[in-house]
Amino acid sequence: MKNLKMKAARAALDYSQEDLAQLVGVTRQTIGMIEAGKYNPTLNLCIAICKALHKTLDELFWEGEV
């Protein structure tokens, strides 16, 4: 499942995939794969992404309606 919430949150802050990748310590390809739904990030990486995007785990990674 694509992570459109993460992509939208990143775009709202005007961050490129590369910008977010540098903030959380992964490659741009990893961010792209998470957004495309082709990579399941660790909890630690999810938390780092949430902090960088000023969002909660529920806001970015919960699949149901919140």
pLDDT tens per residue, range 1-57: 789 999 999 999 999 999 999 999 999 999 999 999 999 999 999 999 999 999 999
pTM reported for the whole predicted model: 0.91
pLDDT (0 to 100) of residue 66: 47
3-state secondary structure of 61: helix
Domain boundary assignment for the chain:
4-61
Asked if 17 and 10 count as a contact pair (C-beta separation under 8 A), the reply is: yes
Angle at 55 (CA atoms; ends 22, 13), nearest 5 degrees: 55
Query: Is the CATH number of domain 4-61 3.30.565.10?
Result: no
